[in-house]
Amino acid sequence: MLTISRETDYAARVILHLALQPTGSRSTARQIAELRIIPRALVRRIVTRLATAGLITTARGGDGGITLARPPTEITLLEVVEALEGPVALNICTVEPNICPLMPACTVHEAWVDIRDTLRANLARITFAALAQKGGASSPDTTAR
Amino acid sequence: MLTISRETDYAARVILHLALQPTGSRSTARQIAELRIIPRALVRRIVTRLATAGLITTARGGDGGITLARPPTEITLLEVVEALEGPVALNICTVEPNICPLMPACTVHEAWVDIRDTLRANLARITFAALAQKGGASSPDTTAR
DNA sequence: TTATAATGATACCAGATCGGTATCAATCAA
DNA sequence: TTGATTGATACCGATCTGGTATCATTATAA
């Protein structure tokens, strides 16, 4: 199945959660895990990767926690995906053309590149500000039940 | 890395090769493996999958071989990808919404579905007739060297 | 009838990835 | 000092990946 990993899906939930919090406030990994229904230890790992990608800022210690590093208007789905998955390649030949023995002559290559490019563009078009606006709720249970 | 498997790339080469042959002529797995630089045994496996997907027709025996089941104008990249990869899901939630505990309320879901749909549409837009036309050569070495 | 060449169907393998868990150290506020 | 947090690893079983190998089946041609 051509799909992102579950970890990437979780990462999107994490960023969305943060985007829904009041600006500047911190959330803890524990809170996010419970509210967004993600295994706690996985949130830790995801937070690490999002932090090294520069999407979030973390603070250790007693009153520590996690915050978006930028306003949600400037964080896109593409960034989250690539932070977790690495490049959106679609086919490896778009990233490492040398790996393909047919390469300079391959006519499929162009197609992979084109489709990959518009896929990336579409992922980049979605900001977490837009996603946050859609669902008014600040946590999944606020409206339900 | 978000990418198709190598087997899927190979499958596209196989179909492209067949699309470049004179209509109705048969190619053998061995020929395709050599000309398109794919491990022979892998071609066998790929041919099986493409055949059960209805994209190619196979004939056993002495003069056996492989042919496109339809004209190349009616075979798209999407079909090849889905024959090998299964559904183009982008995120599993687009295929099995029940798996996601956040589901009816998740605002990212729509985005995944939309982007997935246009990805599929773009893959479906590419026919192997178009790919065959681009590269005039009927085999990779015809022009080179 | 026999030999040969092709596909069909499996089974197997080593290595990588995936989803998840666990542990211990470092940091900071109270 | 205590407790709550993140950082960094290490580990686990299960599955996927890319590739190989084997034997049966089918059909042509000599």
* pLDDT tens digit sequence for B80-130: 999 999 999 999 999 999 999 999 999 999 999 999 999 999 999 999 999
Mean pLDDT of chain B: 93
Does a structural domain hold residue A121?
no
CA-based radius of gyration for chain B: 18
Scan residues 1-20 of chain A and list those with Cβ within 7 Å of strand C: 5-7, 10
Residue with the larger pLDDT of the pair A132 and A135:
A132
* Dihedral (CA of B83, B90, B113, B12) sign: negative
CA of B44 to C1' of D23 (A): 15
Assess whether B42 (CB) lies less than 7 A from strand C.
no
The gap from C-alpha B42 to its chain's centroid, in whole angstroms, comes to 14
Does a structural domain hold residue B96?
no
CA of B26 to C1' of D29 (A): 18
Residue A144 has pLDDT above 80, yes or no: no
Q: Which residues of chain A lie closer than 8 angstroms to B90, CB-CB?
A: 2-4
With bands split at pLDDT 50, 70 and 90, how would you rate the model's confidence at B16?
Answer: very high
Residue with the larger pLDDT of the pair A57 and A140:
A57
Does a structural domain hold residue B56?
yes
* Helix, coil or strand: residue A65: strand
Instruction: Give Dmax over CA atoms of chain A in angstroms.
Output: 59
Please write the tens of the pLDDT for every residue from A66-114. Answer: 999 999 999 999 999 999 999 999 999 999 999 999 999 999 999 999 9
Residue B133 has pLDDT above 90, yes or no: yes
Number of domains in chain B: 1
- Closest C-alpha to B132, from B45, B46, B68, B66: B68
The gap from C-alpha A72 to its chain's centroid, in whole angstroms, comes to 12
Task: Please list the residues that pair with A51 across neighbouring strands.
Answer: none
Scan residues 24-83 of chain B and list those with Cβ within 7 Å of strand D: 39-42, 44-45, 59-64
Q: Which residue segment(s) compose the domain that A40 sits in?
A: 6-84+126-138
> Is residue B56 within 8 Å of B15, Cβ to Cβ?
yes
Assess whether B51 (CB) lies less than 7 A from strand C.
yes
Question: Distance (Å, rounded) from C-alpha A77 to C-alpha B25?
Answer: 46
Q: Among all strands, which nt has the closest C1' to B30 (CA)?
A: C6
Q: Which amino acid is at B8?
A: T
Least confident of A114-118, B15-19, B66-70, B104-108: B104-108
Q: Among all strands, which nt has the closest C1' to A2 (CA)?
A: D16
String of DSSP letters for B15-67: HHHHHHSPTT--B-HHHHHHHHT--HHHHHHHHHHHHHTTSEEEE-STT-EEE
The gap from C-alpha B130 to its chain's centroid, in whole angstroms, comes to 14
pTM over 0.85: yes
Residue B143 has pLDDT above 50, yes or no: no
Residue A141 has pLDDT above 70, yes or no: no
> Is residue B62 within 8 Å of B56, Cβ to Cβ?
no
Assess whether A30 (CB) lies less than 7 A from strand D.
yes
- Closest C-alpha to B68, from B30, B96, B106, B32: B32
Q: Which residues of chain B lie closer than 8 angstroms to A8, CB-CB?
A: 91
- Closest C-alpha to B70, from B46, B83, B88, B51: B51
Q: Do A90 and B16 touch (CB under 8 A)?
A: no
With bands split at pLDDT 50, 70 and 90, how would you rate the model's confidence at B145?
Answer: very low
Does a structural domain hold residue B111?
no
Q: Which amino acid is at B103?
A: M
Domain CATH code at residue A53: 1.10.10.10
Provide, rounded to the nearest whole percent, the portion of chain B with pLDDT above 70.
92
Does a structural domain hold residue A98?
no
pLDDT in the model for residue B139: 56
Does a structural domain hold residue A92?
no
Does a structural domain hold residue A14?
yes
Residues 6+ apart with CB under 8 A from B100: A9, B92, B93, B106, B109
Chain B: closest CA distance from residue A49 (Å): 14
Does a structural domain hold residue B114?
no
Kindly state the tokens that stand for B41.
């045994």
**What's the count of helices (H) and strands (E) in chain A, helices before strands?**
6, 4
